[in-house]
């Protein structure tokens, strides 16, 4: 009967985690980064649009949101409607 040493199993588990964990983290971060960018941009839009005392921000609010939403669509995370 073949017996497997527990140290060998622990070593294989450690090596697999050591080699695959960075790739897993990078893939998760690359998936979440556009959403974080969109939320940050949307927060900036809300902050700039909610300044009633500034005519400059109120005038450029629509253009600012258009630029940010176009940048989000350019990342490739849109629903197919350009």
Query: Each residue of 5-24: pLDDT tens digit?
Result: 777 888 888 887 777 877 88
Q: Residue 58: is its pLDDT beyond 80?
A: no
The full DSSP string for 3-56 is ---HHHHHHHHHHHHHHHHHHHHHHHHHHHHHHHHHHHHHHHHHHHHT-TT-HH
Mean predicted confidence (pLDDT) in 64-81: 61
Say which residues have a Cβ less than 8 Å from residue 79's Cβ, sequence separation at least 6. none
Domains of the chain, by residue range, sit at: 6-74
| Total H helices, total E strands in the chain | 2, 0
- Both tokens assigned to 45: 């839009």
């Amino acid at each position: 009967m073949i017996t497997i040493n527990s140290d060998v199993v622990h070593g294989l588990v450690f090596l697999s985690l050591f080699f695959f964990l960075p790739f897993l983290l990078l893939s998760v971060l690359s998936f979440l980064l556009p959403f974080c960018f969109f939320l940050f941009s949307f927060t900036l839009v809300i902050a700039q649009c909610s300044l009633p005392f500034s005519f400059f921000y109120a005038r450029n609010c629509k253009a600012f949101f258009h630029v940010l939403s176009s940048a989000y669509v350019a990342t490739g995370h849109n629903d197919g409607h350009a």
